[in-house]
Amino acid sequence: MCRLLGYLGSPLQLDQLLYKPEHSLVVQSYLPKEMKSGVVNADGLGIGWYHLTQDVEPFTYKNTLPIWNDTNLPELSRYVESDCVLAYVRSATPGQALHLGNCQPFRRERLLFIHNGFIQHFRQTLYRAIRDRLSDEIYQSIHGTTDSEHIFALFVNELQAAPDASIEKALSQTLIQLTQLAQSDQVSFSANVVISDGHSLVASRYALDTSAPSLYWLRDDPNYPNAVMIASEPLFAGNWHSFPTNSLLVVKEDLEVHINRL
């Protein structure tokens, strides 16, 4: 199971999220407290962020090293500032290759996407079923082999089919499709997802026939005012709220938090 982090709010340096908190994403990589499978998150990392003043596609930084062995990220994270950040450390599903094509965040134009969870026996079950639902263009855009990227492809396909749909509506429909496919094949899956377009965050905590991974949110902490954080595990002591199971959380630019049951 990976560890996820999403941030929307006042601009800050990336190291304020990745390194400074007492239970930062770096600490969670080697000393997670709430992982349901695996022991460490040593199979790579990925950071995505948006420019503060320019309306351009988001930036990503990825590495297949454990985050604690990445000598460039501490320097980069002291330099880069952003008001919207997605990050993760990876614990690869057994059998999934360790290469950059399998590292998140996945990006599509202004969208960033990270996922924590699994599809049971993915290559033998929903791999073909998901691909059969994709347009040719989105099918060809898949570069890696993970269930995470295929869930992202299904989400993008949903947006392409209904271009006026909101991110939250497209994610909800994606989870409905996954549930239908999984029930047909009698497999379990979990999908803790965080998506951003640079102006909002949309996150899910969802599972079918298994327990959902942990996921929390926090708003306007005294050390991080005017901000909302989403994390697999609390980064520090504070007023963190656990996501209800099978729910969707939406954070708009005004930082109001809305939770809907799925």
C-alpha–C-alpha distance, residues 85 and 63, integer Å: 17
- What is the residue type of 54? Q
Q: Where does 80-146 have alpha helices with state H?
A: 126-131, 136-140
Region at 109 (left for phi over 0; alpha for psi -120 to 50; beta for the rest): left
C-alpha–C-alpha distance, residues 130 and 139, integer Å: 10
- Give the Å distances, CA to CA, from 47 to 69, 117, 188, 220, 234: 15, 18, 28, 22, 18
C-alpha–C-alpha distance, residues 229 and 103, integer Å: 22
Pairing of the two strands 216-221 and 45-49: unpaired
Name the percent of the chain in helix, strand, coil, to the closest 5: 25, 30, 40
Give strand pairing partners of 46: 62, 88
Determine which one of 1, 2, 8, 14 is catalytic.
2
CB 124 within 8 A of CB 147: no
2 classed as catalytic: yes
Give strand pairing partners of 113: 106, 195
Active site residues: 2
